[in-house]
Chain A
Amino acid sequence: MASAHADGRRSGYSFMTPETRAMQDDDSVNPATLWVLDGEALWKSLACAGCHADMKGVAARYPKVDAQHGLINLEQRINACRTQKQKAAPFAYESRELLALTAFIGRQSKGLPIDIKADGRTKPFIEAGRATFLRRQGQLNLACTQCHDQQWGKTLLGNPIPQAHPTGYPIYRLEWQGLGSLQRRLRNCYVGVRAEPYAYGAKEFVELELYLMWRANGMKLETPAVRP
């Protein structure tokens, strides 16, 4: 899978060993497929098809800003359906159900380019996310940009620093030995620089997600990816 762009952007995939790439490339050995299959079963049992056709292209366009919800990511959009349309309880962040559904939905955009529009609606939130990305944080007083824009490719604790493009979420992270969302990964970053992580669903996180996806515009989605 091509992961290098003429503009120098590279997916985290390109920083991995051949063995980890092989784990991602084949659905039959990618542990994330367990969640995709769960998501497919949930899609049926929750009767999502009652309102929705297939989800091709959907994950590539989130987070988005719409009139009804404002800034919203895919997890929040699923829960909006749960509470408003299905009159049911929302799924907890990082719950098996929510991960399975985002994995199943995301898998249907695999190979498609990330497609985030910077327009009147999204620009203020993209800028807010960019401000977070550029801000020094935590006891280590590091900004995301210092590692992921300026020092990518260099080795930190034995692994190359990637460019932080969210090309495959939700991911099977070897460190977690399980599937997790972009926000879970961001919380790891916050702990890594010794900063207090925001709560799941915090507006600062969704803004950062939007900025990161916009920054990765045009890069192909690999969901569900495997990462170290």
Chain B
Amino acid sequence: MTSRRQFLVAAVGIGLASGAQATPESMREAMRKVTGGAPVRQGRVKLDLPTLVDNGNAVALGVTVESPMTPADHVKAIHVFNEKNPLPGVLSAYLGARSGRAMVQTRVRLADSQTVTAIAQLSDGSFWSDSVQVTVTLAACAGDS
């Protein structure tokens, strides 16, 4: 009979049993790779995540960025990072002047309650960000199959 911890771990689907876990430092390192060390300002970016989720396996996530999305002034990329999944990267989306709006929506896995961060890279080379703290609890009667 599987132990309760294995039960709960299997239930989330990510599996900390492998021993891997991102840390705030590895998340900062992943962000540095994207920004090249340039300053990241808070603002212009809106990261939408529910503060409380039914199940960490599929959490609705949306990012919108204030931008006219013209050839001269647009969002080139949106990068999403997390701090407690095994890997820090979540999604990188590449947009342009033909996007109309700077927006992307998806569903993500969150292994634990944690902070998720979205960074937008603008055509003028600047970086902007937003962060959300999400509480993740597990489904009840967690039978694994």
Interface residues of A (CB under 8 A from B): 16-20, 22-23, 156-159, 161, 174-177, 184, 187-194, 228
Chain A proximity of B136: nearest CB distance (Å): 8
Secondary structure at the B interface, as helix, strand, loop or mixed, is loop
B60 at the interface (CB under 8 A from A): yes
Collect the chain B residues with CB atoms within 8 Å of residue A188's CB.
141-143, 145
CB atoms of A191 and B50 under 8 A apart = no
B91 at the interface (CB under 8 A from A): no
A174 and B139 in contact (CB under 8 A), knowing A17-B52, A17-B53?
Answer: yes
10 nearest CB pairs, A to B: A158-B137, A188-B143, A192-B141, A174-B55, A191-B143, A228-B54, A156-B140, A19-B60, A228-B55, A157-B140
How many residues does chain B have at the interface if contact means C-beta atoms less than 8 Å apart?
A: 22
A-B contact pairs, 17 of them (CB 8 A): A17-B54, A19-B50, A19-B54, A156-B140, A157-B137, A157-B140, A174-B57, A174-B58, A175-B11, A175-B55, A175-B142, A177-B13, A187-B145, A189-B143, A191-B143, A191-B144, A228-B139
When chains A and B are docked, how far (Å) is the Cα of A88 from the Cα of B52? 48
Interface residues in B7-31 (C-beta closer than 8 Å to A): 11, 13
CB atoms of A22 and B60 under 8 A apart = yes
Identity of the chain B residue whose Cβ is nearest the Cβ of A189 in the assembled complex: B141
Chain A proximity of B55: nearest CB distance (Å): 4
The residue from A17, A156, A157, A161 contacting B50, defined by CB atoms under 8 A apart: A17
When chains A and B are docked, how far (Å) is the Cα of A22 from the Cα of B54? 13
B87 at the interface (CB under 8 A from A): no
